[in-house]
Copies of this chain bind each other. A is one copy, B any other.
Amino acid sequence: MIETRTFNGTTLRKDFPILAQPTSRGKRLVYLDSAATSQKPQAVIDTLDRYYREYNANIHRGVYEIAARATDAYEHARATVATFLGVHSRDVVFTRNATEAINLVAYSWGNRNIGSGDVVLISELEHHSNLVPWLRLCERKGATLRYIPVDANGRLLLDDLDERLRGVKLVAVTHVSNTLGTINPVEEIIRRAHAVGAFVLIDGAQAVPHLAVNIAELDADFYAFSGHKMLGPTGIGALIATHAILEEMDPFLYGGDMIGTVGYHSVSFNDVPYKFEAGTASIADAIGLGTAIDYLTALGMDAVAAHERDLSAYALTRLAELEPRGLAIYGPRDPATMCGAISFNFADVHAHDLASILDTQGICIRAGHHCTMPLMEKMGWSATARASFYVYNDHDDIDALIDGLKTAATIFKV
């Protein structure tokens, strides 16, 4: 049993070296862009350091000591991912990030299973990474891309879902919206999609870092996420899928480590998951992701989710104070059904200008379309400002944000 560590954002700050250093203008770093990428605790940085200093070696084939140690650590990281998400190790395929995981499915499963006249159903909330691969697959195959609509508050409209599911082969939906923070009812979507025989891919890039996720219980056919958004290094993510599907699926990239036997004119492939991991893996980064998950596990994902609900609630309250001055808050505005991110605009100050002014005060937020251009277009927003939270944030960070917004209002005379 791992001992759970009680925490609040303030107590965790010291685990994150980047948060300890002042900005170039001598300000406290207020990092509110974790939906883009999270900061890394010392433990993860140490894991990378130790790997390169003590046992860096190529994996799976080396007979010598450090190669065995590297292989064990890499496979142990895979087991850590599996346990964390309630699946079996052999069904965890390491990729660079969620984007590669989704594209892997679009190429390997999609090319064989989506044909002319088929329908792929996604939602209007999707990140480009869970939209463009399907748009292009449908173009290539003469298939139809259909959308689950979203209401003005960023909630999926599921009333007509059964209607929309007609003829659908694959549903691909985000678990949590990166722009609005909406937590989608993916259990329900999966259940109803399975009822008509459709496969379901869940984009978990914004869910795995913030919520307790059990992929086996969800019963998703495919589940994708990125390590860098959950305290892990850049360069590592995973696709998790049902074993039978992985067994049947064509490989994606071809090369070293994913083969069984190779002749000049014939080839057979390695077992799942190795047949999907061609070439030298991001070994250090995978091992680092394992450490990130250990860190989160010690906090407890329920506690992480509760912490973020608290931050969302506090941020919504404080932002509401500025509504009379022209601040507009988007999305569900309900801490219980959102997570991690709040989008807003402030009077006629463009989001980029807000972000620049906040930057001078050490506050990092994101401004723009958040890789959800069609959603922005539909909502009629040319850009939004987004503040997003994680384990190391606290009420002080949100207070700093509010003060920064007030400064921006003064500068822009709103």
Contacts and interface: CB of A to CB of B under 8 A. Distances in A.
B37 A58 contact: yes
A99 B285 contact: no
Given A39-B56, A283-B234, A129 B374 contact: no
A278 B18 contact: no
A236 interface: yes
A151 interface: no
The dominant DSSP class at the A interface is: mixed
Contacts of A18: 52-56, 66
A235 B282 contact: yes
B100 A279 contact: yes
A213 interface: no
Interface in A50-75: 52-58, 61-67
Interface string A188-220: 000000000000000000000000000000000
Given A53-B45, A61-B366, A356-B63, A129 B264 contact: no
A55 B102 CA distance: 28
A100 B128 CA distance: 21
Interface in A124-182: 124, 127-133, 135-136, 145, 147
Interface in A370-384: 371, 373-374, 377-378
Given A45-B52, A63-B359, A256 B21 contact: no
Most chain B C-beta atoms within 10 Å of own C-beta, residue among A129, A365, A374, A378 = A129
Most chain B C-beta atoms within 10 Å of own C-beta, residue among A99, A228, A281 = A99
Q: Give the interface size bracket for A toward B.
A: 35 or more
A264 B122 CA distance: 10
Given A17-B52, A18-B53, 16 more contacts: A18-B54, A23-B65, A45-B52, A48-B48, A48-B49, A63-B359, A64-B359, A64-B363, A64-B365, A99-B253, A128-B256, A129-B256, A135-B254, A147-B264, A264-B378, A285-B285
Interface of A: 17-18, 21, 23-24, 29, 33, 36-37, 39-40, 44-45, 48-49, 52-58, 61-67, 96-100, 102-103, 106-107, 124, 127-133, 135-136, 145, 147, 226, 228, 233-236, 252-257, 259, 261-267, 278-285, 352, 355-356, 358-359, 363-368, 371, 373-374, 377-378
6 contacts: A18-B54, A36-B62, A99-B279, A129-B256, A132-B262, A263-B377
